[in-house]
Structure 1
Amino acid sequence: MDEKEIQSFLIISSVVLFLLIMTMISLFVLFQKRKNALLLKNEFAKKHFEQEISKAQIEIREETFRNISWELHDNIGQLLTLAKIQLQSDSSINEVKGTLDKCIKELRVLSKLINPEALKNMSLEQAISDEIDRFNRLNFIKSQLTIKGEQIKIDSKIEIVFFRILQEFFSNTIKHAKATHLDILLDYQTDVLTIMAKDNGLGFDLNKQKHSGIGLTNIKNRAKLVNANATFISEPNKGTELTITYHLNNENSYHSNS
């Protein structure tokens, strides 16, 4: 190989080596950009998740305090007024005592709700059970909670989201659906938790735009936030059914994102 060929070879080799180095640098820079973008995305998702959990907690407290305010004004207020009337009308001591005993019982239930630690440490099953008991005690609607399978503890933040979703469903059932019965099911299977809430109220047409707006969208988005799926079944005059499906092995993916 003469000197000219050697020079040509060296030039070509240098060019190839330069291009190879530039390609590696470009790939490294691209990798870093994608890595940083993924980290930012995960950080944003984590902050969004925490914000939604805080929002759900605030809404639960607000709903609880609204209920407390209503019960103090209407329920307990009425009981005290009745006790006063009984005293003024010379009713028997047992009648007055019975009214005051009922009033004290109602106050004890409310004191439990007022305690922030009780709200914080309450399980999903207990929170739903207390809501059902309140509906039945105040004659809002005939309600029933059924639990199937062996109960499995799930992350408290996920329970907060599920309870808030159910609160929204309950509120709509009582205020707008004109239902007389409300049934809730917690079905624990090997790797799936299914939550069903069903009323016998007015129902609605799922195909109509006005019914697929912010209410249903909000519930579905909140379920999606914790890797769950929320679906509705409803027809006019045939009630509404909400089903939340949560794969228990999603706990791992949830913790990796939070």
Structure 2
Amino acid sequence: MDEKEIQSFLIISSVVLLILMITMISLFLLFQKRKNALLLKNEFAEKQFEQEISKAKIEIREETFRNISWELHDNIGQLLTLAKIQLQNNSPIEDVKATLNTSLKELRILSKLINPDALKNMSLEQAINDEIGRFNRLNFIEANLTVKGDRVKIDNKIEIVFFRILQEFFSNTIKHAKATHLDILLDYQTDNTLVIKAKDNGLGFNLNEQCHSGIGLTNIKNRAKLVNADATILSVPNKGTELTITFKL
């Protein structure tokens, strides 16, 4: 190989090496760009998730205080009024004691709900039981909870989202559906899926009508999506409404 060929070889090698270096640098910069974009996306998603959790907590607390107000007026207030009437009518002291003991029991339940850490220390099942227990005591609606399968511990933040979704459904049922029965199911299935169902026997509605595809249903679906769950609502006029949440454990 003469000197000219060697020079040509060196030039070609240098060009190839330069191209390789440029390619590697470009790939590295592209990787860093995508990595940073992914980090920003994850950070945004995490912030959004935390904001939604905080919002759900506030809404749950507001709903709880509304329920406490109703219960103080419609339940405990009536019990204390009954105790007063019993005393005025010289009813047997045992009857008065029983009424006052019931009032104290109801007050203890309310004091637990006022505790800001109550929801954090409460499972989804306990929170639902407290909610429907209140409905039954105040004669809002006849409600019951059924649990199937082996219970699995779920992250508290996810439980808060599920509970808030259910609260929205319960609120619609009591305020608008004119239902007499509300059934809730927690089904821990063998394929590591949790299926939550809430069904009432109220008026129902036509899902195709625009007025029933508004903010309420949108909130429910968006919140389910936030924790990688799927929410569907089925409703038939005069036959009730059913909410189904499906979540892979």
TM-score, L = length of structure 1: 0.90
CA RMSD after TM alignment: 1.7
Q: What is the CA-CA distance between 1:105 and the residue it aligns to? A: 2.4
Give the match for residue 193 of structure 2.
Answer: 192
Q: Distance in 1 between matches of 2:180 and 2:142?
A: 6
Which deviations, in whole Å up to 9, do the C-alpha atoms of 1:52-77 show, x marking residues without a partner? 11211121111111111222233222
Give the match for residue 254 of structure 1.
Answer: none
Give the match for residue 147 of structure 1.
Answer: 147
Give the match for residue 214 of structure 1.
Answer: 215
Give the match for residue 180 of structure 2.
Answer: 180
Mean CA deviation greater in 15-24 or 190-199: 15-24
Q: What is the CA-CA distance between 1:89 and the residue it aligns to? A: 4.4
Contact kept in structure 1, 2:148 and 2:187, CA below 8 Å: yes
Q: Distance in 1 between matches of 2:145 and 2:47?
A: 34
Give the match for residue 252 of structure 1.
Answer: none
Give the match for residue 234 of structure 1.
Answer: 235
Q: What is the CA-CA distance between 1:99 and the residue it aligns to? A: 3.2
Amino acid at match of 1:203: G
Give the match for residue 45 of structure 1.
Answer: 45
Amino acid at match of 1:214: I
Q: Distance in 2 between matches of 1:93 and 1:13?
A: 106
Q: Give the 5 Å matches for 1:73-84.
A: 73-84=73-84
Which deviations, in whole Å up to 9, do the C-alpha atoms of 1:132-172 show, x marking residues without a partner? 11111111101111111111111111111111111111011
Q: What 5-or-longer segments of structure 2 have no aligned partner? A: none
Q: Distance in 2 between matches of 1:70 and 1:200?
A: 23
Q: What is the CA-CA distance between 1:91 and the residue it aligns to? A: 4.4
Q: What 5-or-longer segments of structure 1 have no aligned partner? A: 249-258
Q: What is the CA-CA distance between 1:39 and the residue it aligns to? A: 1.1
User: Are residues 1:100 and 2:107 paired?
Assistant: no
Q: Distance in 2 between matches of 1:221 and 1:75?
A: 35
Amino acid at match of 1:215: G
Q: Give the 5 Å matches for 1:1-258.
A: 1-190=1-190, 191-248=192-249
Q: Distance in 1 between matches of 2:80 and 2:185?
A: 36
Q: What is the CA-CA distance between 1:94 and the residue it aligns to? A: 4.4
Q: Distance in 1 between matches of 2:116 and 2:34?
A: 43
Q: Distance in 1 between matches of 2:38 and 2:118?
A: 38
Q: Distance in 2 between matches of 1:85 and 1:245?
A: 50
Q: What is the CA-CA distance between 1:90 and the residue it aligns to? A: 4.5
Q: What is the CA-CA distance between 1:101 and the residue it aligns to? A: 3.0
Q: What is the CA-CA distance between 1:109 and the residue it aligns to? A: 1.7
Q: What is the CA-CA distance between 1:130 and the residue it aligns to? A: 1.1
Q: What is the CA-CA distance between 1:12 and the residue it aligns to? A: 2.3
Q: Distance in 2 between matches of 1:84 and 1:135?
A: 25
Which deviations, in whole Å up to 9, do the C-alpha atoms of 1:86-124 show, x marking residues without a partner? 434444544444433332222122122122333320111
Q: Distance in 2 between matches of 1:22 and 1:78?
A: 82
Identity %: 83
Mean CA deviation greater in 109-118 or 26-35: 109-118
